Amino acid sequence: MGYADPHRINADLHSHSHMSDGVLTPAALVERAVANGVQMLALTDHDEVSGLAAAQARADELELRFICGVEISITFAQKTVHIVGLNIDPSNAVLLKGLSATRGGRAVRAQTMAQGLAQHLSKDAAASAALSHPDLPLSGTQLGDAIYAGALRYVGNPDLISRTHLARYLVERKLCKQLSDVFLRYLTPNKPGYVETSWASLTEAVSWIRQAGGQAVIAHPGRYRFNETERIALYEAFKDLGGEGLEVMTASHTREQYTEFAKVAKQYGFLASRGSDFHGPEESRVDVGETALLPLLPDSVVPIWHNW
Ligand code: AMP
Ligand code: MN
Ligand code: MN
Ligand code: MN
């Protein structure tokens, strides 16, 4: 098809609904995108495609160009990396089987995280009271069960509980002021609520996406704490596997990183993507399709949608 100038299009190709750890329903997300002037939207829930049909239906009603997407959790060089798939066929059996396996361990993982938090917080009377019943503070595994139950109240899809849902409960109970504080204090490596997870491999994720007819994109590359050797290994392995895109514009990048990753895209011949990674109105710094904080792609890169 092609566009007169694909760089001028407000494409937001990374966003979440409550089918993973977003706050809005797929339909409400689409409505918000339209209100914000988005011209092309991808819903990319974590390891899950069950929100796509409802989002597509609402987008059709509102005449918004909608792209079926997914964000797959993988482990590369012992760290978690996210791979976005764009223009996937959400009914592809290989993709569905892979995503279902990826989601599989999440309930037990979250229960273990809740127990880790409980063990740590049992020593803190005020925290235990806040997380259970004020007049009957729990401790030990009962406190862990209460934390897990609290997190479940934020879950929109019983098949997908994430660290975000635990974090929302801790903010609600005033243990931390905001989500990022919970991650910093409790839910990242070497912190009491963190559980080491082995996700799918890079090879698997890219292959599922490609078999479903989609294009694979490395999400928010600025977020990974890799050394230079590992970083290069990721880009090269991804490229060799048929990975095509790199997120240049994402809410977790600084202005300097917009420039840095535009250069990386050019260097490796990756197509560039842009996405807010919007999770919810009260939580996300960058709104879906917001151009003030998340500029359109620079002319130096080729937008991944240039030939869609
Ligand atoms: P999980 O897939 O369960 O490991 O949860 C990962 C999700 O946690 C990410 O997709 C983000 O939405 C959220 N997250 C990770 N780090 C942070 C942070 N520092 N502040 C807020 N949310 C975060
Ligand atoms: Mn998320
Ligand atoms: Mn991500
Ligand atoms: Mn995301």
Ligand 1 close to Cβ of residue 207 (< 6 A):
no
- At 308, is the pLDDT very low, low, confident or very high (cuts 50, 70, 90)? very high
- At 4, is the pLDDT very low, low, confident or very high (cuts 50, 70, 90)? confident
**Which residues neighbour 78 within 8 Å (Cβ) at sequence distance 6 or greater?**
none
Give the residue, out of 164, 169, 198, 225, with the most ligand 1 atoms within 8 A of its beta carbon, to mutate for a pocket test: 164
**pLDDT greater than 60 at residue 1:** no
Mean pLDDT of 70-96: 98
pLDDT in tens, 179-233: 999 999 999 999 999 999 999 999 999 999 999 999 999 999 999 999 999 999 9
Give the residue, out of 16, 17, 20, 21, with the most ligand 1 atoms within 8 A of its beta carbon, to mutate for a pocket test: 21
- Indicate the pTM of the whole model: 0.98
Ligand 1 close to Cβ of residue 46 (< 6 A):
yes
Ligand 1, atom 22, residue with closest C-alpha: 180
pLDDT in tens, 43-61: 999 999 999 999 999 999 9
- At 137, is the pLDDT very low, low, confident or very high (cuts 50, 70, 90)? confident
What single-letter DSSP state applies at residue 157?
Answer: S
Secondary structure string (H, E, C) spanning 45-78: CECCCCCHHHHHHHHHHHCCEEEEEEEEEEEECC
C-alpha of residue 308 to centroid of ligand 2, in Å? 26
C-alpha of residue 227 to centroid of ligand 2, in Å? 24
Q: Give the closest residue to 86 by CA, choosing from 65, 62, 100.
A: 65
pLDDT in tens, 259-292: 999 999 999 999 999 999 999 999 999 999 999 9
Ligand 1 close to Cβ of residue 188 (< 6 A):
no
Cα angle at 104 between 275 and 245, to 5 degrees?
25
Mean pLDDT of 236-251: 98
C-alpha of residue 180 to centroid of ligand 1, in Å? 8
**pLDDT greater than 70 at residue 32:** yes
Q: What's the pLDDT score for residue 159?
A: 94
C-alpha of residue 133 to centroid of ligand 4, in Å? 33
Which ligand has its closest atom nearest to the C-alpha of 278?
A: 4
Share above pLDDT 90 across residues of the chain, in percent, rounded to a whole number: 96
Cα angle at 150 between 148 and 151, to 5 degrees?
65
Ligand 1, atom 2, residue with closest C-alpha: 162
- Work out which ligand 1 atom sits closest to the CA atom of 163: 3
Ligand 1 close to Cβ of residue 162 (< 6 A):
yes
Ligand 1, atom 15, residue with closest C-alpha: 183
pLDDT in tens, 161-172: 999 999 999 999
Share above pLDDT 70 across residues of the chain, in percent, rounded to a whole number: 99
**pLDDT greater than 80 at residue 69:** yes
Distance CA 247, CA 221 (A): 7
**pLDDT greater than 80 at residue 134:** no
Q: What's the pLDDT score for residue 5?
A: 92
Edge-to-edge strands of the sheet including 271-275?
11-12, 40-43, 65-76, 79-86, 215-218, 245-250, 271-275
- At 2, is the pLDDT very low, low, confident or very high (cuts 50, 70, 90)? low
**Which residues neighbour 95 within 8 Å (Cβ) at sequence distance 6 or greater?**
49, 70, 85, 88, 89, 208, 209, 211, 212
C-alpha of residue 236 to centroid of ligand 4, in Å? 22
